[in-house]
Every structure is written in C-alpha cells, then in structure tokens.
C-alpha cells in the first residue's frame, strides 16, 4: 500500500469500517439458495416487480432531468434573496426519512390532500396508481440530480459562457453549446444516482402508493413482502438489487474519466492546467 504516512490505527479503523459495509453483503450472498436462485428471481411476481421497478425508476429519473436541470441552473447561475434557503429546502428529501416524504405526498396529492381534493374533483386519482410510485421516487431522487449538477456548474465557472456571449451567442445557444456540454459527465452521474435512488425507494412508496402486483409493488416492496413467507425469495431478490446497485456505482464512477477523454474542456477545475 502506498501512502504509508498514515498512522497504522487509522488504517485499522478504516479496514473495520470497510468490513462493516462489505460483510453484510457477503452474508446476504452466503444465504442465497443458489439451486433455486433462477426460479426464485424469475417467478411471476418477481418479474412483475422487477419490470415495474425499472419502468418507474427510469420515468422518475427522466422527470428528475426535466425539472432538476433547470433547478440546478437557477441555483448555480442566478442570485436572489433567499437562495440559500431555497437550496436547503430543495435538498430536504435527501435527509428526510422517506416515510415522512410519503406522508407529505399523501397530504398533498392524496384524495383528501391539499391538491388531491381538486384533482379528485377533476377525476384524477393518484393514490394506488403507478403514477404515485413515480412521484414518490422522483421526490426522493430529485436532490441527487440537483446537487451533483449544481456543484459541477459552480466548479465549471462562467468563463466559457462569458466568452461565448461576447462572441455573439444567444442565451439558449450558450446553454446548449457551452454550459450543458461542460457539465455532461456530472449530469450523467446525477441521472444514474437518481435512478438508483428511485430503484431503492421503499418508505414513500409504501405510504403513498400502496402495494399491488404489477401496479405499485416495486422490487423493494416485493422483497419486504416475500420475507414474510419465503425468506429465500427475499434474499434472492435482494441480491438482484445489490447487483444493480454495484452496476450503478460502477457507472457513476466511470462517467467522469470517460467524459474527460472525450472532451478536454470538461476536466474538473482542480485538474485543469492553470497556464492554459
């Protein structure tokens, strides 16, 4: 190991911490009933849950991009009174227990909720629908995208945008040709992270959307339910989610180096040659 300047006890504690994270995953893998693994994860209910999870998480990630990119741009490129407060509020779902988010959504879009009663009068019922699942997921996933994108926008700075503007580019052109390409890797990793968060959503979905096979019972809810009667199925499905999580983390980490090789401009400010 290089960098041996650290005290040994720091390394020792770090190893213990690493084991604390890795050991439970290993224990999970050890409990898998391998001969039954394929039948367990391809059962009708498991497939329905997996498909629903993928569908809703992708939709939620898309929604996060649609509203999250403008939010990040406004937070990073404008200054207004109360901006810090707004940022804190937007990031709140990140630290809020998801079940609290679910209750909040219920009291907003539920049948007797703030907006829900008007929606209900219009014939729109959100609770118990797949829409409710997507909303729960987008609610908890949005801060991931806004946070990673806003940070990238701030560290990228406004120099190139200013140059573009002096060369006669309009606001939309600057945004499209300079700002967004600059932060593309962060946008991609933000999308991947918000997708992952949406995939793992449990508390808000359970509270707000309910649980019905093919409609609202996503993979985490299926795991929770299977655990009641068939712990082996719950373990097998859990392992699928662990696999997806590992893939997601891998992608999110890979995105930046790939982006750098493709576009020299978008290296983080810290790596940029100060002379150039």
Partner 1 sequence: MRTRRSRFRLLALAAPVVVVLAAGCGGNVPAGGGTERTGDAVDGAITVFAAASLTVPFTDLAARFEEAHPGADVTLTFAGSSDLATQITEGAPADVFASADTRNLDRVEAAGLLAGDAVRFATNTLELAVPSGNPAGISSLADAARPGVKTVVCAQQVPCGAVTAQVEEAADVDLTPVSEESSVTDVLGKVVSGEADAGLVYVTDVRAAGNAVLGIPLPEAAGAVTTYPIAALADSEDTATAQAFVDYVLGADGRAVLGAAGFGAP
Whole-angstrom distance, CA of residue 109 vs CA of residue 126:
7
User: Which one of residues 39, 214, 231, 243 is an interface residue with partner 1 (CB under 8 A)?
Assistant: 231
**CB closer to partner 1, 131 vs 155:** 131
Whole-angstrom distance, CA of residue 234 vs CA of residue 224:
7
**CB closer to partner 1, 110 vs 259:** 110
Q: Taking CB under 8 A as the criterion, which residues in 85-144 touch partner 1?
A: 106, 110-112, 127-128
Residue 47's CB is within 10 A of a number of other CB atoms, namely: 12
Q: Is 153 a binder of partner 1 (CB under 8 A)?
A: no
Whole-angstrom distance, CA of residue 154 vs CA of residue 94:
20
**CB closer to partner 1, 28 vs 175:** 28
Q: Is 225 a binder of partner 1 (CB under 8 A)?
A: yes
Closest CA to 134 of 97, 109, 107: 109
User: Which one of residues 56, 137, 148, 226 is an interface residue with partner 1 (CB under 8 A)?
Assistant: 226
Q: Angle at the Cα of 72 (from 66 to 75), degrees rounded to 5? A: 140
User: Which one of residues 212, 242, 245, 251 is an interface residue with partner 1 (CB under 8 A)?
Assistant: 212
Q: Is 229 a binder of partner 1 (CB under 8 A)?
A: yes
CB of 68 to partner 1, least distance (A): 28
User: Which one of residues 149, 153, 221, 236 is an interface residue with partner 1 (CB under 8 A)?
Assistant: 221
Whole-angstrom distance, CA of residue 179 vs CA of residue 196:
25
**CB closer to partner 1, 106 vs 192:** 106
Segment contacting partner 1 by CB under 8 A, of 67-75, 190-198, 219-227, 239-247? 219-227
The radius of gyration computed from the CA coordinates of the chain, to the nearest angstrom, equals: 22
Q: Is 228 a binder of partner 1 (CB under 8 A)?
A: yes
Q: Taking CB under 8 A as the criterion, which residues in 169-208 touch partner 1?
A: 206-207
Contacts with partner 1 by CB under 8 A: the residue count is 24
Q: Is 20 a binder of partner 1 (CB under 8 A)?
A: no
Instruction: Kindly list the residues in this chain that would bind partner 1 in the complex (CB under 8 A).
Output: 106, 110-112, 127-128, 206-207, 209-213, 216-217, 221, 224-231
């Amino acid at each position: 190991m290089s960098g041996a300047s650290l005290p040994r006890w720091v390394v020792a504690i770090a190893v213990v911490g690493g084991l604390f994270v890795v050991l439970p995953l290993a224990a999970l893998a050890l409990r898998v009933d391998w001969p039954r693994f394929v039948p367990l994860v391809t059962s009708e209910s498991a497939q329905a849950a997996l498909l629903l999870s993928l569908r809703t998480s992708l939709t939620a990630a898309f929604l996060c991009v649609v509203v999250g990119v403008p939010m990040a741009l406004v937070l990073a490129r404008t200054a207004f009174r109360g901006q810090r407060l707004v940022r804190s509020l937007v990031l709140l779902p990140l630290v809020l227990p998801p079940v609290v988010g679910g209750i909040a959504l219920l009291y907003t879009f539920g049948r007797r909720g703030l907006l829900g009663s008007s929606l209900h009068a219009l014939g729109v019922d959100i609770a118990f629908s797949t829409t409710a699942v997507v909303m729960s997921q987008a609610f908890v996933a949005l801060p991931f995208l806004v946070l990673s994108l806003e940070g990238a926008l701030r560290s990228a700075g406004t120099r190139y945008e200013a140059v573009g503007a002096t060369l006669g580019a309009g606001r939309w052109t600057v945004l499209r040709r300079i700002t967004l390409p600059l932060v593309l890797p962060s946008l991609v990793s933000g999308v991947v992270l918000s997708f992952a968060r949406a995939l793992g959503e449990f508390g808000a979905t359970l509270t707000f959307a309910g649980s019905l096979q093919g409609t609202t019972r996503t993979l985490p809810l299926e795991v929770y339910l299977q655990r009641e009667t068939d712990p082996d199925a719950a373990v097998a499905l859990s392992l699928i989610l662990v696999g997806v999580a590992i893939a997601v983390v891998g992608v999110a980490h890979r995105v930046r180096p790939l982006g750098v090789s493709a576009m020299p401009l978008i290296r983080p400010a810290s790596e940029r040659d100060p002379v150039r």
